[in-house]
Structure 1
C-alpha cells in the first residue's frame, strides 16, 4: 500500500520539480530569465494592476507549459528509447503548447509595453542623434 504524503512533502516534491526543470532544461532557464526581466521592466513602468495581472499570468503560463512539456518528454523517454510516431506526436504537441503560450505572452507584452517601448526608443534615438 502506498503511503500518503503530507502537505509539506507535496510542496517539497513540487519545488524539486521546479528545481529539476531549471537545472536540466535550457529553455526553462531562458523562460525564467525572460520572466524576471519582464517583471523588473513591469515594476519600472509602474503598470496598472490589471496590466500586471496579465503579465504575471502570461509569464506563468509559459513556465507551466514548459514544465508540462518536460514532464511529457521525460515520460515518453522512459517508456520507449526507439523512435515511434506516437512518441514524436506527444513530444511535438507538448512543445506546441509551449509555443502557443509564448506567442500569447508576446501578444500580451506587445499590447501592454508597445507605447512605453516606443517612447523609450524615441528618447534613446534623440539622445544619440542629438535631436
Structure 2
C-alpha cells in the first residue's frame, strides 16, 4: 500500500489542504502579505458597503491572488526538490510562476482601484 493511501485513512479530505495552506502561511512572507492585504480590503469593503457585484469581484480577485501564490510556492518547492542546483530551465519555471502571481496581483489592484477609487473620491 502506498504512503498516500495509508496517510488518508480516517482523515477528513480537507485536512491536507488546510495543512498545506497553514504551511505556506507560516513559511512564505509573500503569502502572509497577501493575506494581510486581503483583510484590509475586506474591512474596506464593509466600510464602503459594497454591492453584491463588487463583493463578487473582490472575492474573485482575492481568490485569484491567493491561488496563484499557493501554486507558485508549490512549483518553487517542487523545482527546488527536483533541481537543487541552479539550472536555466529551473530558473525559467520559477520566474514564470512568480510572474503569474504578479499578473494576478496587478489585476486585483486594478479591480480594487475601479471599485474603491470612486468611493474614496466621493468622500473628499
Whether these two folds match at TM > 0.5 is yes
What is the correspondence of 1:30-45 to structure 2 with a 5 Å cutoff? 30-45=33-48
Where do 5+ consecutive residues of structure 1 fail to align? 123-131
User: Which has the higher Rg, Structure 1 or Structure 2?
Assistant: 1
Q: Secondary structure at the match of 2:50?
A: coil
| Shift, 1:60, TM fit | 1.0
Match of 2:82 among 65, 79, 83: 79
The alignment covers a number of residue pairs equal to 121
Secondary structure of 2:84's partner?
coil
After superposing on structure 2, the runs of 4+ consecutive aligned residues of structure 1 that deviate more than 6 Å are none
* Counterpart in the other structure of 1:126: none
Distance (Å, rounded) in 2 between the aligned partners of 1:51 and 1:110:
12
How far off its partner does 1:118 sit? Answer: 1.9
Structure 1 residue 61 corresponds to structure 2 residue 64: yes
Alignment TM-score, normalising by the size of structure 1:
0.87
- Cα–Cα, structure 1 residues 82 and 33, in superposed 2: closer, same or farther, change >3 Å? same
1:119 is the counterpart of 2:102: no
1:11 counterpart residue number: 14
Distance 2:115 2:62 in 1: 13
RMSD over aligned CA atoms reads 1.5
**Structure 2 unmatched runs, 5+:** none
Structure 1 residues 68 and 46: CA distance shift in structure 2, 3 A: same
Partners of 1:30 and 1:106 in 2: how far apart? 14
Question: How far did residue 10 of structure 1 move?
Answer: 2.6
Among 81, 92, 96, which residue is 1:93 paired with? 96
